[in-house]
A and B are shown apart, each in its own frame.
Chain A
Amino acid sequence: GESVGLHLPTLSVQEGDNSIINCAYSNSASDYFIWYKQESGKGPQFIIDIRSNMDKRQGQRVTVLLNKTVKHLSLQIAATQPGDSAVYFCAEITGNNNAGNMLTFGGGTRLMVKP
Chain B
Amino acid sequence: GIQVEQSPPDLILQEGANSTLRCNFSDSVNNLQWFHQNPWGQLINLFYIPSGTKQNGRLSATTVATERYSLLYISSSQTTDSGVYFCAVNTDKLIFGTGTRLQVFP
Judge: A and B partners, yes or no: no
